[in-house]
């Protein structure tokens, strides 16, 4: 009898302690050098300001991950940085909390692409062609060069998935940037993109996390890679590399902060997003990593020396194109299915 | 009577935690997965009026006005965004374009309380194909996920047809999964059996060192070991630079992003699961059996085949089974070291679960994998039982 009483009290104690122990604010971002920068300029200062610990985790994306967390109830993440497609899907599906735009300083303080009911844009980033300037002195100029294995021998790395890959294939096939999504919206256009990919298939390597293309380029495993622009600039700075970015044909998109539906610290998460969106805090980012800023005032505060590497600088934008979110939320599943089947053959 | 029941009760109370554990973490997830792969309730439950009318519709144009009105009424009645989200996800998964179509339609419906002409909201509603998709989704149970897991689908006449080869490659990937697992099993056996025999024949510190060589990797994280192999196998990695320095090859041998690399890395990771069962069986074998055989005039190879191999068969069988079953579910190693044609079925399951939130497809693929594995297990059970009978 005594034993049972003991067991019961242990169980009760356990239940009590887990109930009283609230989870700290948990923020999830993309890891790597980007998240290190965020820790310095957002997470730590915010934690000091509110006097509470802030936990941070990293993820590699995937709408299913967020949907499963919310569906299971009591998600263990509060604020998450998501890509534009995940923002649009989740906002439609109601898995994100609504943003209190008054807290964020009003919708007008941001560029239009950064404003949504469920998310606050935080960076503009590009997926661009990159190569090692110390190995290729006269490097590739566009995606057609990426496909030219005679002129530039060696393997190439692309981000695994249909998104971006099909766009790059069509650009390499000579489709003008302004007709790209019209072509991709037709069955013939999709066939054309896959046919172009067929040409390069034996020379392609696929990456899933943003650190991989840098690793491949550094080890000489690939001659060129599609990579996140910010990481290229960072590795040049921190490890003295001479990686080059080809801006024409790069595709840019906005990443946003969202709050998972019914997250435990949803109020604090709003405060955090507001903190991270303040111009004086956001303006510190380009010093660490070359992403464009969404807050107009923050953009204007960025010192000139960092502007050359940022996707939103007018010269870099000139021949770049914007990711078409509506196209991808409709076609993502079907095209990824086909992409996976194509990869497997 | 009670005196007899007592010990039984106590004994069952002792295994109760195990039974509960198995039920909670093994049986229940499998049942949930089974259910997930055949149930398709979202459209039936949320668009209930539409489903009822769609069931009676003959599928011919023009789309009945009652069906259109029912859809508007259903969308208006659904206030839970997550519920509607599940419907949209389900429909868009069957026909691309439902996302933007439903978004536009919901916005139009929210603006007014009056009747709505769907064809004016978006001209896609005038096409029968979109309504066919809704009609096909309106039954609470479906075989579409199980069919799609085996590269089949239903056409517009509801007949089962093979999906085009460039749209779905699950069978190819399943076959590849078994080929890779089998290769890994065989190479583990080729290395593990002699190694286990060497360990069993040694003693003292040498045996400890040899055992540590097997056990230490087992205690290292899978990810760390895989990354280490990445560094060793790459074009200017250890192996290739050594080969080139020795003048054996001029060009680096492609090991990374190739099947060879995947099998090497997986063999290393899974080797302990082959060595340890064989070793434990060999330990229980008297050490002088081989000597006895040779004293009776058997050639060492004959002695090995007639004495050692049959006696260690139990260890070999359980080791092979352990390695084979573990490799079937491998994900990280092929993803990091393999090329696109080395990806195994778990990466496809992961795609449906984490990327597209299509739990039905993930469940169906899991179910197919489970059934094939069970089938293999039964065949294996039969074969090993027959062997015992002969022996």
Classify residue B191 by its DSSP letter.
Answer: H
B271 φψ region: left (φ > 0), alpha (ψ -120 to 50), beta (else):
alpha
A14 vs B: CB within 8 A? no
The Cβ of residue A292 has, within 10 Å, a number of other Cβ atoms equal to: 26
Distance from the A54 Cα atom to the nearest Cα atom in chain B, whole angstroms: 26
What is the distance between the alpha carbons of residues B53 and B67, in angstroms, rounded to a whole number?
A: 6
Cβ <8 Å between B167 and A336? no
Nearest to B358 among A65, A333, A342 (CB): A333
Work out the angle between the directed axes of helices B359-390 and B28-38 (0-180°, nearest 10).
Answer: 120
Cβ contacts below 8 Å, chain A against chain B, sum to 107
In this complex, is the C-beta atom of B341 within 8 Å of any C-beta atom belonging to chain A? yes
Instruction: Taking each helix axis as running N to C, give the angle between helix B222-233 and helix B259-283, from 0 to 180 degrees, rounded to the nearest 10.
Output: 130
Q: Please enumerate in sequence order all residues whose Cβ is within 8 A of that of A262, keeping only pairs 6 or more positions apart, or say none.
A: A70, A73, A74, A75, A97
pLDDT of chain A, 345 residues: tens digit per residue: 455 555 555 555 444 444 446 899 999 999 888 899 999 999 999 999 999 999 999 998 899 999 999 998 889 999 999 999 999 999 989 999 999 999 999 999 999 999 999 999 999 999 999 999 999 989 999 999 999 999 999 999 999 999 999 999 999 999 999 999 999 999 999 999 999 999 999 999 999 888 899 999 998 889 999 999 999 998 998 899 999 999 999 999 999 999 999 999 999 999 999 999 999 999 999 999 999 999 999 999 988 889 889 999 889 988 999 999 999 999 998 899 899 899 888
348-367 of B, contacting A, C-beta below 8 A:
348, 351-358
Q: What's the pLDDT band for B391 if we cut at 50, 70, 90?
A: very low
With 80 as the cut, is the pLDDT of residue B388 above it?
Answer: no
Q: Measured between alpha carbons, how far is A299 from A297 in angstroms, rounded to an integer?
A: 5
Q: Where along chain A do the CATH 3.40.190.10 domains lie?
A: 2-124+254-317, 126-251+322-344
Pairwise CB contact (< 8 Å): A330 & B354:
no
Best mean pLDDT range from B147-151, B290-294, B338-342: B147-151
User: What per-residue confidence (pLDDT) applies to B3?
Assistant: 54
Residue B24 is given by DSSP the state: I
Calculate how close chain B gets to A301, using CA atoms only, in Å. Answer: 37
**pLDDT score of B384 more than 80:** no
Q: How far is residue B25 from each of residues B17, B18, B28, measured CA to CA in Å?
A: 12, 10, 6
Contact A123, A283 (CB under 8 A): no
Q: What is the CATH number of domain A2-124+254-317?
A: 3.40.190.10
CA-closest candidate to residue A309, choices A94, A148, A175, A130: A130
- Is-contact B181 B274, C-beta < 8 A? no
Closest CA to A80 of A31, A45, A47: A31
Tell me if chain A has a CB within 8 Å of the CB of B176. yes
Q: Residue A7 has what pLDDT? A: 52
Q: Does A325 touch chain B (CB under 8 A)?
A: no
Decide: A164 and A127 in contact? Cβ < 8 Å: yes
Do the beta carbons of residue B361 and residue B89 sit within 8 Å? no
Q: Does B146 touch chain A (CB under 8 A)?
A: no
- The beta-carbon neighbor of A208 closest among B96, B97, B335 is B335
Q: Determine the pLDDT at residue A5.
A: 55
Domain B170-390 = CATH 1.10.3720.10? yes
In chain B, CATH 1.10.3720.10 sits at 170-390
CATH 3.40.190.10 fits A126-251+322-344, yes or no: yes
Q: Per-residue pLDDT for B390 more than 60?
A: no
Nearest to B99 among A68, A92, A340 (CB): A92
Give the nearest partner residue to B356 out of A64, A94, A345, using CB atoms. Answer: A64
Asked if A204's CB is within 8 angstroms of B99's CB, the reply is no
Q: What are the backbone dihedrals phi and psi of residue A56, each rounded to the nearest 5 degrees, phi first?
A: -130, 140
CA distance A274 to chain B (A): 25
Q: Is B232 on the interface with A (CB under 8 A)?
A: no
Residue among B43, B27, B30 nearest B141 (CA): B43
Is A93 an interface residue toward B (CB < 8 Å)? yes
Q: Is A155 left (phi over 0), alpha (psi -120 to 50) or beta?
A: beta
Cα of B253 to nearest chain A Cα, Å: 12
Tell which residue, B240, B37, B279, has the closest CA to residue B147: B37
List A227's β-bridge partners, or say none. A128
Q: Which of A64, A331, A333 sits opposite B354 (nearest CB)?
A: A64
| Structure tokens given for B251 | 């060009």
CA-based Rg of chain A, rounded to a whole angstrom?
Answer: 22
Q: Which residues of chain B have a CB within 8 Å of the CB of A68?
A: 353-354, 357
Q: How far is it, in rounded angstroms, from Cα B63 to Cα B44?
A: 19
């Amino acid at each position: 009898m005594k034993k049972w009483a003991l067991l019961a009290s242990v169980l009760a104690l356990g239940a009590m302690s887990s109930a009283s122990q609230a989870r700290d604010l948990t923020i999830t971002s993309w890891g790597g050098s980007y998240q290190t920068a965020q820790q310095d300029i957002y997470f730590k200062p915010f934690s000091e300001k509110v006097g509470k610990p802030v936990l941070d985790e990293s993820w590699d994306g995937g709408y299913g991950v967020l949907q499963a967390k919310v569906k299971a109830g009591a998600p263990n993440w509060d604020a998450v940085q998501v890509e534009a497609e995940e923002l649009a899907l989740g906002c439609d599906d109601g898995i994100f909390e609504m943003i209190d735009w008054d807290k964020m300083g009003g919708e007008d303080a941001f560029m239009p692409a950064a404003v949504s009911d469920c998310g606050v844009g935080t960076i503009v980033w590009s997926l661009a062609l990159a190569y090692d300037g110390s190995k290729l002195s006269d490097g590739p100029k566009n995606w057609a060069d990426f496909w030219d294995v005679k002129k530039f021998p060696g393997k190439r790395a692309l981000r695994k998935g249909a998104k971006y890959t099909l766009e790059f294939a069509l650009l390499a096939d000579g489709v003008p940037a302004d007709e790209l999504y019209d072509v991709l919206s037709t069955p013939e256009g999709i066939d054309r993109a896959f046919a172009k990919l067929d040409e390069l298939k034996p020379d392609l390597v696929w990456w899933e996390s943003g650190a991989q293309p840098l690793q491949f380029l550094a080890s000489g495993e690939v001659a060129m890679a599609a990579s996140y622009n910010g990481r290229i600039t960072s590795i040049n700075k921190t490890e003295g590399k001479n990686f080059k970015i080809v801006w024409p044909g790069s595709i840019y998109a906005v990443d946003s902060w969202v709050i998972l539906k019914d997250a435990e610290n949803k109020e604090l998460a709003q405060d955090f997003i507001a903190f991270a969106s303040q111009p004086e805090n956001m303006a510190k980012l380009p010093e660490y990593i070359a992403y464009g800023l969404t807050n107009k005032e923050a953009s204007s505060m960025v010192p000139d020396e960092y502007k050359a590497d940022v996707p939103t600088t007018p010269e870099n934008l000139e021949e770049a194109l914007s990711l078409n979110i509506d196209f991808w939320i409709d076609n993502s599943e079907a095209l990824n299915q086909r992409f996976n089947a194509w990869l497997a053959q | 009577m009670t005196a007899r029941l007592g010990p039984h009760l106590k004994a069952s109370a002792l295994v109760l935690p195990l039974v509960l554990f198995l039920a909670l973490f093994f049986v229940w997830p499998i049942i949930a997965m089974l259910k997930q792969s055949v149930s398709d309730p979202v459209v039936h439950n949320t668009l209930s009026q539409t489903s009822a009318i769609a069931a009676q519709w003959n599928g011919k144009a023009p789309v009945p006005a009652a069906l259109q009105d029912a859809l508007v009424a259903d969308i208006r009645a659904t206030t839970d965004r997550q519920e509607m989200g599940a419907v949209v996800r389900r429909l868009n998964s069957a026909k691309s374009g439902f996302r933007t179509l439903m978004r536009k339609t919901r916005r139009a419906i929210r603006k007014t309380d009056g009747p709505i002409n769907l064809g004016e909201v978006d001209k896609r509603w005038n096409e029968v194909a979109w309504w066919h998709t809704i009609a096909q989704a309106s039954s609470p149970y479906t075989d579409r996920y199980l069919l799609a897991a085996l590269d089949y689908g239903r056409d517009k006449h509801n007949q089962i047809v093979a999906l085009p080869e460039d749209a779905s490659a699950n069978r190819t990937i399943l076959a590849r999964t078994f080929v890779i697992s089998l290769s890994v099993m065989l190479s583990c056996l080729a290395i593990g059996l002699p190694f286990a025999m060497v360990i069993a024949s040694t003693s003292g510190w040498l045996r400890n060192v040899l055992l540590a060589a097997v056990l230490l990797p087992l205690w290292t994280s899978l990810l760390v070991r895989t990354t280490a192999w990445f560094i060793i196998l790459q074009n200017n990695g250890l192996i290739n630079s050594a080969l080139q320095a020795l003048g054996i090859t001029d060009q680096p041998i492609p090991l990374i992003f190739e099947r060879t690399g995947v099998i090497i890395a997986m063999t290393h990771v899974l080797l302990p699961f082959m060595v340890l069962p064989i070793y434990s069986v060999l330990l229980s074998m008297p050490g002088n059996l081989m000597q006895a055989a040779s004293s009776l005039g058997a050639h060492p190879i004959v002695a090995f085949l007639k004495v050692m191999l049959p006696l260690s068969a139990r260890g070999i069988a359980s080791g092979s089974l352990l390695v084979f079953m573990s490799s079937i579910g491998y994900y990280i190693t092929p993803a990091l070291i393999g090329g696109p044609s080395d990806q195994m079925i778990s990466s496809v399951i992961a795609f449906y679960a984490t990327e597209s939130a299509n739990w039905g497809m993930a469940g169906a693929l899991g179910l197919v994998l489970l059934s094939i594995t069970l089938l293999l297990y039964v065949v294996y059970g039969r074969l090993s039982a027959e062997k015992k009978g002969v022996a």
